[in-house]
Amino acid sequence: MITIFMSGSISIKAIDEKVMNRINGILEKNYNIILGDANGIDLLLQKYLLKNNYKNAQVYCSGDLSRVRNNVGNWEVVSVPANGIKDRRLFYTAKDLQMSKDADYGFMIWDKKSTGTLSNVIEMIRQDKKSRVFLSDDAQCVSIRKRENVYNLVNLMDAKARAIADQKIELSYKLNELMSPKLPLF
């Protein structure tokens, strides 16, 4: 069974019709969908799946089950251990990292600013997993099939967004790490 990791920018307040069409294709194939429990696009995606009476989904949360923020469809909840993590961003990143491990492909909705969404794309391609990224400002999808494609996304960011990404997720370091060849030990 193919598993799709869906995520996106918390700032997005509506699902574009083109995104709905892509999601409908996923629903028709009855792929397993995993998504987070945050407000913003996670909640919008949950509501869309519920409206379509979609059952083949799981909601991931960081920490124990009592910490789930949104699960409008009463889907299975996957709790990702994170209780010892004090930093709020790192706490919620724990579930994203697990979803990237559990998924076969990613479908992200991005505002060209969100460091969390960009980090999810980077984590997927680091594991040699492809993603489709819907650019909310441009209303178009781009494919991330190889590591070099991440640069295309980063180049869409304005200087301020990129500086914030460098500060929050060490973007420059992640890009260098992503492109550095892994040399054999012997």
Residue 132 within any structural domain of the chain: yes
CB 36 within 8 A of CB 96: yes
Residue 73 within any structural domain of the chain: yes
For residue 170, what is the domain's CATH number? Answer: 3.40.50
* Three-class secondary structure assignment of 116-152: HHHHHHHHHHHCCCCEEEEECCCCEEEEECCCCHHHH
Residue 101 within any structural domain of the chain: yes
- The answer to whether the predicted template modeling score (pTM) of the entire model surpasses 0.75 is yes
pLDDT, tens digit, for every residue of 10-20? 999 999 999 99
φ/ψ bin of 65: left (φ > 0), alpha (ψ from -120 to 50), beta (otherwise): alpha
Residue 144 within any structural domain of the chain: yes
Residues of the chain whose pLDDT is less than 50? Answer: none
Residue 186 within any structural domain of the chain: no
**Residue 138 sits in which domain range?**
3-179
For residue 148, what are its two tokens?
């070099």
Residue 184 within any structural domain of the chain: no
Domains contained in the chain, number: 1
Place of tokens 């409206």: 51
Q: What's the confidence (pLDDT) of residue 65? A: 86
Residue 185 within any structural domain of the chain: no
